[in-house]
Structure 1
Amino acid sequence: MNNQQPVLIGGRYELGELLGRGGMAEVRKGTDTRLGRVVAVKRLRTDLASDATFQARFRREAQSAASLNHPAIVAVYDTGEEPATDGSGISQPYIVMEYVAGRTLRDILREGRKILPERALEITSGVLSALDYSHRAGIIHRDIKPGNVMLTPSGDVKVMDFGIARAISDASSTMTQTAAVVGTAQYLSPEQARGETVDSRSDVYSAGCLLYELLTGRPPFVGDSPVAVAYQHVREPATPPSDHDTELPPEIDAIVLKALAKRLEDRYQSAAAMRSDIERYLAGRPVQAPLPPPMAPDPQPTAATAVVPPATAYQEEEPRSRTGLLVLLGLLLIVLIAGAAYLLPRLFESAPDQVPVPNVIGKTEKQARALIGDAGLAVGAIEREASSDVPTGRVITQSPDPDAYRDPDSAVNLTISLGKPQVEVPFVVGQDKDEAEAMLVDQGFVVKLQKEESDEDKNRVTRTEPSQGTTVAEGTTIVVYYSDGREKVPDVVGKQQAQAETAITNAGFEPRVINSDDTTEPAGTVIDQSPRAGETPSAGSTVTIVVSTYVEPTETPAPTETATPPVPTDTPTVPPPAERRRP
């Protein structure tokens, strides 16, 4: 049974399964035990970490990478150092990154599946967007390659290893430099291969190599060794991608070949410029890169590309006949004329004409992108902020200003509205309604006053809708409910019971009835109440009413004339004789 405890670094990152291993580091899946999220942890090899200079520069570059916040860049959460687990005691740097569930372009290319040209351009555009952002932050990647670009399950691009390649290339360790070059020889810029100082245009060249491989399934240069490949980057022109896929249009050849230009001056001058050309092609507009001229027949393709001293080539021509020489000169003249017709206008252009910056303030982001692209410029940095005046999704400001003149492919930076700023509804419950209204209006709210039944003092705010403390958009309508004051007990003495109960209920009280016949008031009449009329007990209090049950007695009817019975006397009454004789 394996009871080995998981490795914990930084006091919070628990290391898990191995995700990948390279010549410089290994990456493991990890768990941030403090935040409960999945992360990726990259740790540098102990032999590289033992170089003090490398450690200092790696730490500085890792901190710079952590400052990059872009949707196409794998986020860096944390960085630090931890004693190596091999017992060497060396302080081993690590970087904690966003965990991306997806596959690298290297894995996808190894499957041998064809990537559609439009999709290849979209992927490269995403990479260039990340590069443009990092270049403006002062960080050069220096190691753009399929293994450092991931595609998420939703198809989004994620670029990895920002800052790390720069720390490696700046280190003084010879072994580190060699590992960096050998590991990425197929994507080196000529200036990198020559060991010269590099700038952001080196990343543009590497992005061109990446696009070439996405389009054709192979890098622009291959060889038996990294040195042979590096030599080709320095000396050999790249063949157009259409040589490997004849369905590719000349515009794609133009974009790729301009990115792969040997001279820095002939290359795209920024990642934004290359991305702008790609977006122009995807939108169906002409690209800025010059289209390659039609290839003239070459009777000696091998001699033109073979790595042979020039003197040997000329020596091989000497035995040829004069007729063959004339044919060769004629073909060469045709090529020169065609090349002159194509190149002379460009040679005499001192600089590209500057173009006016369009006014995109108030436009939607989509409209702004279209106008900037149509003007021959590129969309630069896009920032988003709240605005009280500009609707959501529309441009607040731009830089350069409208109608300024800039070189083609220059970046136009935009600030786009997130809508009205979010503000908190202030606490006004218990205040006078007029004071509350004034406070809310001063803070930009629209106020609607609404009276309601309440035991609070008259005109005191009882509640708001939305509730106080809630975060809402500036300018939201706030309904302020205020008290109409305590209700007075109505005067119901003398009213009928039903009328009295209704009046008491409408005033917010509970009626209680006591019957009494100790009165001469008609039955059903209220003869007394408690509390008295005009008093202000709490809402829902009981108001007792005394209701008469008196029933007026009926009058005794007047006596009618009837025979008065004889009063008995001592002497009996003797009826008349006739009556005595009646049977």
Structure 2
Amino acid sequence: MTDEPVVLGGRYQLETVIGRGGMAEVWRARDLRLDRLVAIKRLRVDLATDSTFQARFQREAQAAAGLNHPNIVSVYDTGEKVDPASGISVPYIVMELVKGQTLREILRQGRVLEPAKAFEYTMGVLDALSSSHKHDIVHRDIKPANVMITPSGSVKVMDFGIARAVSDTSATMTQTAAVIGTAQYLSPEQARGEPVDARSDIYSAGCLLYELLTGRPPFLGDSPVSVAYQHVREMPIPPSQLDAEITPEMDAITMKALAKSPDDRYQSAKAMRDDCWRLLNDEPVTAHLPAVVPSSAAAPDSSTTPTRALPEQQEPDQEAAEGAEDTFYTEEPEPPRKRGVSAATVVLIGLMVLLIGALGLFAWRLMGDPSNNEVPVPAVIGFEEEAAVELINGAQLTPRVERVAGPAEGKGTVIRQSPEGNATVLVGSTVTLTVNEGPPVSEIPAGLVGMLQDEAVALLREAGFTKIEPLPAPAGLDSLDAREGEVVRVSPAEGSEVATNEQVTLYIASGMTRMPGDLVGQDGTTARSTLIAAGFTNVTTQSVGVGEESPTARAGQVVRTSPTAGEQVTRSTPIVLYLAQGRAVVPDLVSDSLTQAQALDRLVAVGFTSVPRIEYRTVDDAALVGRVVEQSPSAGETHDKTVPIVLWVGAQSSSNSPPASSNGTTSAPSSPEGG
């Protein structure tokens, strides 16, 4: 058996870790009160005492809890639980459990998205941002890893861990000494450490759209700093230059979102979303390619280089009518005329330049310090793949990722590297990172609910699952209709794709039910049918002894049951129906000198139902007149309660007419047959 499951807040039972990040881990859990699956994000224990991380974690809960939108992962509850090992109070957030894949996982699979699909996903992100911006919440970390796509194609934006209210965005990375956001999706104002508003999210959404269209971020670099520099100073290559399927309108929307100045971007998520809708519905978009302004580092002196609009390439007779477009270029000043140089001179100068360059390279290799070309390899074992690759790139090395199956613990992290950390290698060398991609994954088979335990266990083992734990079904699940040993619930649910070494719990019915309370008094056949219809499988009948049944019981009528009415038993428990024989012992009506009326009462008392026939016999003893002097059947015999009964009553010898019988009939005196 496994250890006692961890329950948070008295209602959330942790099941398995489904994700890890820099500051928290995410668990799949079951809400025992509402009987539903949820996701629970717990701050790492080693960070729980850090006020900065505590505040960021609390900010995420507050930001997301205030938002209610179908494209935003819902927050249900928050709380804290003391870690038993350290005694530290660890906060947690209870969230909607979303099935699906992140856009980062989809992109890593090498799947090429159709441009239309890229814009559809982006519209879902923009709908979510529009809702958060209405509540003055800036996400500040829009990236593929924070966007989930459900199996039905819905978009879910998650991780508001660094979100802030617009009024609080002055707390930038320059104040926290940490880059807030991910380098490849930072807005220029984020990269500069300036206050940001909702338009910063528009830029990040533009980076996301760019990657969905082209398969790569708008800027690549050896380090996060170099990428951030490009966000601030350089314009990205238009997507259409990387993929011929991308139209000028798609370029226009993407490049407008990526404008360096917030004023040149879409001014709201809704405005960008509406332009994406127009594009998908073949309507004109509002975006135009933004002005391309050379960076100051590369631009000639503006005092000597006038800038003018470059007309769109078109027929000469259209230029005057349509004027200049928005694209700008730098016009070189016309150099002074010089005397011509012969072709031979040009060739000779070129050869001399090549020779000098070759000699310089030879001398550098001969006398230069080789150590200037060597760098230490970062130690990245235990890092998430994305962070490890970024560190290797930042060290001017080339990462190569290999993936192997491994335990769920540490999924997505580097477990080996070659060369090892801190080894010295040449710049540009390849570093092989072996990443744990987790255990093999299989689908929980359908149809387990309703099977018997052994059948369900066998089917799960066939599917590759190794940790299967049957547990008694709790009171709320133990249906009275389920057979003993029948599976009434599976966790994780049928159809879920989970690691084969993850625990699968089968909740098993006890098969208990209550004995019906209306069986006594029914005939045996009816009572037996009632029990079989209720699911009981072992029903027998047994006759009670003479004298054990009530005087009024008919033959074949149930007089008692075992177990008794209302008892809770399994449906395989032996059930005995005790049936009346409908027989009774004939009482002695003669020895006690009973009157005719007294004899009738005694016969009824023991259960005989037929009306006795009264005969009269002349007696010499006056004390026997009106008394039963003989009976048939005889006393002590056992008969059906419906057996005919004859009573002989004493009569006076001098009387020629017999007295009236108690049942209203009279009969002449005679002797009983057979004496």
TM-score under structure 2 length normalisation: 0.43
Higher relative contact order (CA 8 A, sep 6+): 1
